[in-house]
Amino acid sequence: MNVTAQSVWENCLSFIKDNIQPQAYKTWFEPIKSVKLTDNSLSIQVPSKFFYEWLEEHYVKLLKVALTRELGENARLVYVIKMENTYGNKQPFTEKIPSSNRSHVQPQELDVPIKNKSPELKNPFVIPGIRNIKIESQLNPNYNFENFLEGDSNRLARSAGLAVANKPGGTSFNPLLVFGGVGLGKTHLAHAIGVEIKDKYPEKTVLYISAEKFTQQYIESVKKNTRNDFIHFYQLIDVLIIDDVQFFSGKTGTQDVFFHIFNHLHQNGKQVILTSDKAPVDMQDIEQRLLSRFKWGLSAELQSPDYETRVSILRNKLYRDGVEMPEEIIDYVAKNIKTNVRELEGAIISLIAQSSFNKKEVTLDLATQIVEKFVKNTKREVSIDYIQKVVSDYFQMDVSTLQSKTRKRHIVQARQLAMFFAKKFTKASLASIGSQIGKRDHATVLHACKTVDNLAETDKQFRKYIDDLTKKLSQ
């Protein structure tokens, strides 16, 4: 039989699969690729240094048993880390090497920082006595890991958050960027990491701030001519948590000052945690040098929770509030509110309130009324990204084709429909719609909306497009 890296790794995987939980297998082993086999050494490629550290910490014994079964007592495992640029220490059984296949990587993505082990950098803007100022962390202790329930949708982000909380600034995911849609727990996770760090390392200075507040502070510092004090203040933070970093979009001054603060913190082994409603690759109007720094660490996505996770969230909420509720009600709410955790908790709070204030028994009818209100309210909250995806899928094209400069008639019509629905279903300005749908200006959006209105009256087929898409977007 021809023994290849692929066949050896597949045999290892089938052994591993039988010995761990399905979710753990899916999260930590499915993304791994076998690379090559030389004598008794198997090379596998892992997506990041984070993966390597996690496997070494949690699964090295299992990996050793699996590989020894295939390659004998002298088996060795070599990790090839995608887009890595640093050598790690060799270990008896495993070894970490950077991937040499980086020809496709843009230069800025290799802009890897030099770890500065020297004492703290001398700062030209030292303000006497500033070190004695107590910085309030602005954290909400109610947002902790205990009530941030783990599920398939958040396992990677939650695990990374815990690892950062255990060793702030000492892991390879710095910055840790957590991204995902509305109400999926980005802010909760960011606070939970901060709360855990404060608990474990009371001496560390932790600060949570929204990107909007950070921007306001920066503008204020420019007005008052205290920009240097502003930078120096942030350079003293040990763990900086910035929420909704996409708010920096288009604000070049804020991006510039954050770039300098970020570099200083990173080089001095301080931890940066960011949240965003989109992945770095989808962020508009953020400088390339800043985006490349967002990619230094780990970007972990929070997705919509699956049914099992939704049930767990509801049960946990009821347990914390000391309320009992029939299983069929929990099941009904979990099956009907799928988009995000915030709505899920909101619905259960409404049910608890109704039953306690109005002395009503919680019945399936009451649950149906409340869930309907939530579902109706969220129908209007359709994002421009979602509209582009629905329209692209309907016309069987990629979103990138929809946004492209091409003048092909069917693509132009799809683009105009996306602009029309963005104006209809969102509160975004025409300029904002245009910039998100292929960097067009507001006049193009206005023209698109007029064209769609005209065609709707004169073209039967086009009218059908509008009706079909309206149904899809109103579901």
Residue 213: count other Cβ atoms within 10 Å of its Cβ: 15
Tokens standing for residue 183: 């109400």
Residue 2: count other Cβ atoms within 10 Å of its Cβ: 4
Residue 183 annotated in ligand binding: yes
> Which residues make Cβ contacts (< 8 Å) with residue 14, sequence separation at least 6?
none
Residue 253 annotated in ligand binding: no
> Which residues make Cβ contacts (< 8 Å) with residue 353, sequence separation at least 6?
none
Helix ranges (H only) for 238-340 are 252-267, 288-294, 307-320, 327-336
The crossing angle, in degrees rounded to 10, of helices 409-425 and 384-394 is 140
Residue 215 annotated in ligand binding: no
Q: Report yes or no: 391 and 411 within 8 Å, Cβ to Cβ.
A: no
Residue 452: count other Cβ atoms within 10 Å of its Cβ: 21
CA 65 to chain CA centroid, nearest Å: 34
Sequential DSSP letters for 391-436: HHHHTT--HHHHHSS---HHHHHHHHHHHHHHHHH----HHHHHHH
> Which residues make Cβ contacts (< 8 Å) with residue 19, sequence separation at least 6?
62
CA 22 to chain CA centroid, nearest Å: 23
Tell me how far apart the alpha carbons of residues 6 and 306 are, in angstroms, rounded to a whole number.
Answer: 32
- In single-letter form, the type of residue at position 401 comes to T
Residue 186 annotated in ligand binding: yes
Sort strands 176-180 and 271-276 into parallel, antiparallel or unpaired: parallel
CA distances from residue 21 to 17, 29, 177 in whole angstroms, order as listed: 8, 11, 27
End-to-end CA distance of the chain: 54
Tell me how far apart the alpha carbons of residues 176 and 282 are, in angstroms, rounded to a whole number.
Answer: 17
What does R_g of the chain's alpha carbons equal in angstroms? Answer: 26
Binding residues, by number, are: 183, 185-187
Query: Residues annotated in the binding site for ATP, as ranges?
Result: 183, 185-187
